[in-house]
Amino acid sequence: MPESQGWLAGKAEGEVAVELNGVRFQVDLLTGHKTGLYLDQQVNYARVAELVARLPGTQVLDAFSFIGGFGLHAARAGAGHVHFVDQSEEALAGAKRHAELNGVAARCSFETANVFDWFKGRTQRGPHEQLIAPFDAIVLDPPSFTRSRAAVPDALRGYKEIHLRALKLLKPGGLLATFCCSHHVDAVTFQDVILAAAADAHRLLRRVATFQQSPDHPVLPAIPETEYLKGYAFEVVG
């Protein structure tokens, strides 16, 4: 079928106001990526925010932030500061506008960067330098690293890399909320990669939450591809 983009019914000009869990967004349904907003994370935005709310004043990193879903919810939940990192200038501009729209801009900062390079630059140290972990909570919500089974080994190396770097930047007692949206990587394999990264980082993790896609993205057991989004929250206990 030929590609098409437009309205099935009704009409709207410009951006549309959307509210998720009390957090306001302005999205472009026609030109924005995935209609401008990832609705499959709606429940997880709220659940991660509840975990952040237990640590008032926390320093949060929202990596692969897109337009700010997790970071904005964290800021509304009482985070002391949220740093958004994404390689898309357009997405970060949207995150900044949304921070202002929700009255949390004073506690937010934004940086355009490749997240892999950003992590690498902040975890490198000299032979006699000690790395001081700056964050109390880190959210990792990257795009899919693989679109085929053949690319799964490379994807797993990518997942291990970002988790290893992230764990080095988390304070003891810190929170790591992490997600995988590739149906080629199942939940058990994803957790195994995280635990391998934790072992290399000499960190002991306690799992405090398990995540999946929101109910309006139903899972059909007969079609494994429908169960694509999985995630975990871990506390660094040692």
CATH code, domain carrying 150: 3.40.50.150
In a domain? residue 11: no
The range of the structural domain enclosing residue 92 comes to 37-236
In a domain? residue 208: yes
Predicted confidence at residue 145, as pLDDT, reads 84
pLDDT of 127 higher than 80: no
Mean of pLDDT values over 198-221: 95
pLDDT of 128 higher than 80: no
In a domain? residue 3: no
pLDDT, averaged across the chain? 92
Reply yes or no on whether 181 is catalytic: yes
Predicted confidence at residue 183, as pLDDT, reads 85
Q: Which of 138, 181, 193, 236 is catalytic?
A: 181
Mean of pLDDT values over 65-83: 97
Q: How many angstroms separate the CA atoms of 106 and 59, rounded?
A: 13
pTM above 0.85, yes or no: yes
In a domain? residue 19: no
Ramachandran quadrant class, 43 (left: phi over 0; alpha: psi -120 to 50; beta: rest)? alpha
Q: What percent of the chain has pLDDT over 70?
A: 96
Reported as a single tens digit per residue, the pLDDT across 28-50 is 887 767 666 888 999 999 999 99
In a domain? residue 223: yes
Q: How many angstroms separate the CA atoms of 79 and 92, rounded?
A: 19
How many structural domains does the chain have?
1
Mean of pLDDT values over 180-192: 93
